[in-house]
């Protein structure tokens, strides 16, 4: 018997995502000037106010207010009527030095022996459902909001959009886990106030999104997925009606409150730890990237159609407590999931230092992760420029989304005889 599955995403202008982007911009700036920085920063945004809190151990002093305002401006909160505006919002910093008791569990005489920055469990997941090995419902939700933001910035075909938005996609699957059709699309987008009545306004927004946004997203998909968009999709566009008050004025935002949006949209599993605002010594972040890297390369190598990888750590201990694998009965090799896990442990160095080194995580690569998902993105090399509190500038070339590289496919095939 078939079933329905739903995933959601939120835009870069959603309050929680504003907080994530500010936290990760600060991470990048610390790492750009001091790669050994230890950082854990939480951000809260509300009406006209940003509060920064957390712990830092670094050799660089940053103008955190200036960096925060730059992020808010880039997202698009540039008008006073939003009640949260880049140049006028208040910014309170309560960032202080990291506890030596935490740091002593991480740093060692040699970097190779560094311990995990925290205890916990982390999961990586991959499926051959899409070209980027991500769950389809989440991939579509991300695409809808990314294109909606593009339309907002273009400001030509649709001229009334504001930064805050959410999307949700429900797919119908058959009994063999193959998507049959899109059943429902839900989009709530903040907008300027209309002169017309509320019913006419709602009809205008709904028609614009169906006629302009949906075809742009559909055109991005490979040919076999495009027929999922039919004339029978149920659309709920701004179902509550008027959505003028949004962003931090409409809802307080916090770092780390969209961890399912950041990962797999409810597919696979999640260990509970957030990513944004944490340097890579925090295995909540680095090990989640590493397990995604493993799962994606295993599926791309043809080992299974779908794979979940779990890893666990103890704070201050470099070697993981254990590795768990679930292939959901789709394995193509004559090994148990336990045997596959054992081979993974031999193939991938899963110590914190090994992960940081393999994936280049001590570089300023995190701002780009903080909206539209940390997983399923396209690896790319970019140049980024940073400014210190004294006005000195620095340009660095970095590799983004290294955990999405398919650089272990050949090694996996050799190890498993594929």
Cα–Cα distance measured from residue 174 to residue 161, given in angstroms and rounded to the nearest whole number: 37
Distance CA 400, CA 361 (A): 9
274 marked as part of a ligand binding site = yes
> Is 348 assigned to a binding site?
no
Say if residue 292 carries a ligand binding annotation. Answer: no
How many helices (DSSP H) and strands (DSSP E) are in the chain? 12, 13
Q: Which residues contact 120 (CB under 8 A, 6 or more apart)?
A: 271, 272, 273, 283, 284, 312, 313
Tell whether 74 is in a known binding site: no
* Ramachandran sector of residue 268 (left: φ over 0; alpha: ψ -120 to 50; beta: rest): left
154 is in an annotated binding site: no
174 annotated binding-site participant: no
**300 a known binding residue?**
no
DSSP H or E segment with residue 58: none
Distances (CA, A) of 88 to 48, 73, 78, 84, 85: 7, 11, 9, 8, 6
**129 among annotated binding-site residues:** no
Could you tell me if 295 and 126 are in contact, meaning their C-beta atoms sit under 8 angstroms apart? yes
**Cα atoms in the Cβ-side hemisphere of radius 13 Å centred on 169:** 24
Contact indicator for 123, 268 with CB cutoff of 8 Å: yes
User: Do the annotations mark residue 243 as ligand-binding?
Assistant: yes
- Residue 362 is given by DSSP the state T
To the question of whether residue 275 is assigned a binding role by annotation, the answer is no
End-to-end CA distance of the chain: 32
Task: Confirm whether residue 42 is marked as ligand binding.
Answer: yes
Structure tokens at 244: 């003028």
Angstrom distance (rounded) from CA 395 to CA 251: 36
Distance between CA 24 and CA 341 in Å, rounded?
A: 32
Residue 248 is encoded by which pair of tokens?
Answer: 């931090």
Query: What is the Cα–Cα distance from 350 to 313, expressed in whole angstroms?
Result: 10
> Would you report the helix, strand and coil content of the chain in percent, each value rounded to 5?
35, 25, 40
CA distance 416 to 297: 12
SS (H, E, C) 257-282: CCHHHHCCCCCCCCCCCCCCCECCCC
Check whether 282 is labelled as a binding-site residue: yes
Q: Is 157 annotated as a binding residue?
A: no
User: What's the CA gap between 320 and 342, in Å, rounded?
Assistant: 12
**Length, in residues, of the chain:** 418
Tell me whether residue 98 is annotated as binding.
Answer: yes
Q: Which residues does the annotation place in the binding site for K(+)?
A: 42
Q: Which residues does the annotation place in the binding site for Mg(2+)?
A: 16
Q: Which residues does the annotation place in the binding site?
A: 14, 16, 42, 55, 98, 164-166, 242-243, 251, 257-258, 274, 278, 282
Q: Which residues does the annotation place in the binding site for L-methionine?
A: 55, 98, 251, 282
Q: Which residues does the annotation place in the binding site for ATP?
A: 14, 164-166, 242-243, 251, 257-258, 274, 278
């Amino acid at each position: 018997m078939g079933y329905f599955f739903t995933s959601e995403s939120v835009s870069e202008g959603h309050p929680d995502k504003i907080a994530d982007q500010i936290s990760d911009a600060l991470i990048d700036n610390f790492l750009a000037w001091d790669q050994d920085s230890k950082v854990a920063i939480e951000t809260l945004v509300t009406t006209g106010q940003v509060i920064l809190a957390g712990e830092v151990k670094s050799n660089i002093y940053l103008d955190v207010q200036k960096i925060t305002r730059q992020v808010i401006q880039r997202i698009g909160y540039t008008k006073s009527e939003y009640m949260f505006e880049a140049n006028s919002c208040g910014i309170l910093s309560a960032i202080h030095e990291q506890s030596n008791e935490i740091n002593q569990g991480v740093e060692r005489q040699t970097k190779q022996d560094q311990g995990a920055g925290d205890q916990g469990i982390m999961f990586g997941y991959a499926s051959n459902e899409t070209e980027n090995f991500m769950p389809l419902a989440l991939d579509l939700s991300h695409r809808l909001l990314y294109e909606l933001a593009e339309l907002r910035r273009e400001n030509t075909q649709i001229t009334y959009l504001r930064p805050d938005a959410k999307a949700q996609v429900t797919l119908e699957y058959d009994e063999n886990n193959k998507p049959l059709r899109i059943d429902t699309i839900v989009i709530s987008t903040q907008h300027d106030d209309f002169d017309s009545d509320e019913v006419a306004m709602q009809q205008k927004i709904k028609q614009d999104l169906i006629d302009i946004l949906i075809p742009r997203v559909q055109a991005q998909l490979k040919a076999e997925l495009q027929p999922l968009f039919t004339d029978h999709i149920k659309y709920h566009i701004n179902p509550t009606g008027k959505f003028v008050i949004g962003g931090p004025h409409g809802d307080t935002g916090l770092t780390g409150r969209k961890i399912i949006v950041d990962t797999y949209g409810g597919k696979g599993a999640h260990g509970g730890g957030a990513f944004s605002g944490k340097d890579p010594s925090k295995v909540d972040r680095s090990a989640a990237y590493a397990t995604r890297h493993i799962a994606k390369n295993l599926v791309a190598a043809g080992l299974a159609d779908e794979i979940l990888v779990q890893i666990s750590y103890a704070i201050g201990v470099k070697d993981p407590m254990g590795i768990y694998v679930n292939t959901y009965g789709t394995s193509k090799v004559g090994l148990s999931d336990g045997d596959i896990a054992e081979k993974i442990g031999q193939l991938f160095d899963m110590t914190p230092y090994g992960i940081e080194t393999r994936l280049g995580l001590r570089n300023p690569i995190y701002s780009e992760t903080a909206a539209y998902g940390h997983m399923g993105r396209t690896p790319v090399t970019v140049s980024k420029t940073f400014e210190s509190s004294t006005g000195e500038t620095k340009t660095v070339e970095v590799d983004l989304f290294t955990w999405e590289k398919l650089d272990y496919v050949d090694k996996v095939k050799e190890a498993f005889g594929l």
